Structure 1
Amino acid sequence: MENTGILTVFLSLSFSANAQENIRLGALIAYGTEIESLGVGVNAEFPVIENLTVSPSFIYYIPKEGSGFKMNWFEVNANANYYFVSQADMGVYAIGGLNYSSVKLEYDGSYPFDMDTSDGRFGLNLGAGANFELGGITPFAEIKYVIIDEGQLVLGAGVKFNL
């Protein structure tokens, strides 16, 4: 039991030391094909082991309005990025992870047809991305498919800052 505790502390310190060197925080612009709208978001990247990072993100899509309807949509992602190309100036990675999407629909019609409804769903993310190293700034581009109901293709680009 004592050896397990020592091993746990050693691994935690190793991951913490590695993570502090390469943590990235960023911002992005995205386009979702199901909502057909632009979104803005934030993301991060935390190294776990060589060639593998955990990358949470949040995207809020610009609300769509028309014919009395208004649709609000956001998504929260918990992805793992596996770098299969990792060079000094560029990294290419596969994306796999979990997605939570929330959609709220409001209808401002005349009484008795006012309506508010919302729904949240869990899905899976599959995709790819690339980072382009420019010193402490890392521009990136990603494409992912969210496997959820009708599905949604999300194209994103932005910049990450090395901490």
Structure 2
Amino acid sequence: MNLKLTFCGVLLSLGVAFSAQAQEKTRIGAFFAYGTEIENIGIGANAEFPIMENLTISPSLIYYFPKEEYSVKVNWFEVNANANYYFVNQNNMSVYALGGLNYNSVKVSFDDAWLGDHSASDGRFGLNLGGGVNFKIDGKITPFAELKYVIIDGGQLVAGAGVKFNL
């Protein structure tokens, strides 16, 4: 009897998840971002996959443009796995809170005529907290803006804006 109830519960959960996916749209997007720790602009790509009503999984990648000061060159990218919870859904915009995991990779290289070439790299995990807004202007294109704080050594505030394409 318990096996039948468990099986029915799983089927019901899957049905709710798939009906929520049918109501929401999967989106992929591109955006520009600015990070306060690196103090530089980056380009990014993201996606949104609905899993329940008002809840999406949103992976993203940001590659910050290489930065060179004096003879020190910095390369930085981040990978994010966020969950977006939509708490406002109106005709012209939707507002969401986000939370998730972050991975930063930083490589610093130094080129000196006397000392030679040196480089070091570091990867760090952190947490994302923030929010964003989607502006609904067309059936296929959704402009958006997002602000998040990465809880990591030194911390970083990241502001981003771009477009998402509804699939």
Q: TM range, normalised to the smaller chain?
A: over 0.9
Which residue identity is paired with 1:108?
D
Which residue identity is paired with 1:122?
F
Corresponding residue of 2:123: 120
1:112 and 1:2 map into 2 onto residues whose CA distance is 71
**Aligned: 1:62 with 2:56:** no
Equivalent position SS for 2:120: strand
> Is there any run of 5+ residues in structure 2 with no aligned partner, and where?
none
1:149 and 1:117 map into 2 onto residues whose CA distance is 17
Q: CA deviation at 1:78?
A: 0.7
> Is there any run of 5+ residues in structure 1 with no aligned partner, and where?
none
Decide which of 130, 138, 142 is 2:146's aligned counterpart. Answer: 142
Q: CA deviation at 1:7?
A: 3.1
1:5 and 1:60 map into 2 onto residues whose CA distance is 44
1:80 and 1:46 map into 2 onto residues whose CA distance is 9
TM superposition score normalised by structure 1: 0.92
Instruction: Map 1:1-163; keep pairs closer than 5 Å.
Output: 1-19=3-21, 21-134=24-137, 135-163=139-167
Paired residues, number? 163
Equivalent position SS for 2:112: coil
RMSD: 1.6
Q: Deviations over 1:108-135 (max 9, x none)?
A: 1135442111100011111110000122
Identical positions, percent: 61
1:110 and 1:3 map into 2 onto residues whose CA distance is 73
TM superposition score normalised by structure 2: 0.90
Which residue identity is paired with 1:52?
L
Q: CA deviation at 1:2?
A: 3.8
Q: CA deviation at 1:63?
A: 0.5
